[in-house]
Amino acid sequence: QVQLVESGGGLVQAGGSLRLSCAASGRTFSSYYLAWCRQAPGKDREFVAAIRWGGGIYADSVKGRFTISRDNAKNTVYLQMNSLKPEDTAVYYCAADQRVSDRPSQYNYWGQGTQVTVSS
């Protein structure tokens, strides 16, 4: 069982940066893939990035701008978001599962979400 709590969202101008954090509980944190997904108003939830060990995997829309990382000692996963665009506006969710996927429906554990708003 994994519980996830996101933080770090907010309002930023286009071109700016934000870092999201997701604190996880559970003694087997390091064995899970951790992912970030997002959902904009009126749109389906979409995959953003995922990581287990080593480097992350990314959606094409965020490659080169976003970086996912994790600190297993702190049971925390981060999403550094640079060069933000208005189309990045969404609720960002942290998710976990023991298998990696670029399909949000495959993740079994979810946080409550944090709002990111990018103004033009």
Give per-residue pLDDT as tens, 73-110: 899 999 999 999 999 999 999 999 998 899 999 999 99
Q: How far apart are CA 96 and CA 81, in angstroms?
A: 20
Q: How far apart are CA 2 and CA 81, in angstroms?
A: 24
Residue 40: what pLDDT? 97
Residue 30 pLDDT level (bands cut at 50, 70, 90): confident
Q: How far apart are CA 69 and CA 53, in angstroms?
A: 9
For 71, the token pair is 């600190």
Residue 28 pLDDT level (bands cut at 50, 70, 90): confident
pLDDT tens, 4-22?
999 999 999 999 999 999 9
Residue 19: what pLDDT? 98
Residue 31: what pLDDT? 85
Indicate the residue type of 99.
R
Pairing, β 33-39 against β 18-25: unpaired
Checking if the pLDDT of 70 tops 80, the result is yes
Residue 27 pLDDT level (bands cut at 50, 70, 90): low
For 95, the token pair is 């998710």
Residue 66: what pLDDT? 98
Checking if the pLDDT of 29 tops 80, the result is no
Indicate the residue type of 2.
V
Q: How far apart are CA 49 and CA 27, in angstroms?
A: 23
For 53, the token pair is 């060990």
Mean of the per-residue pLDDT values for the chain? 94
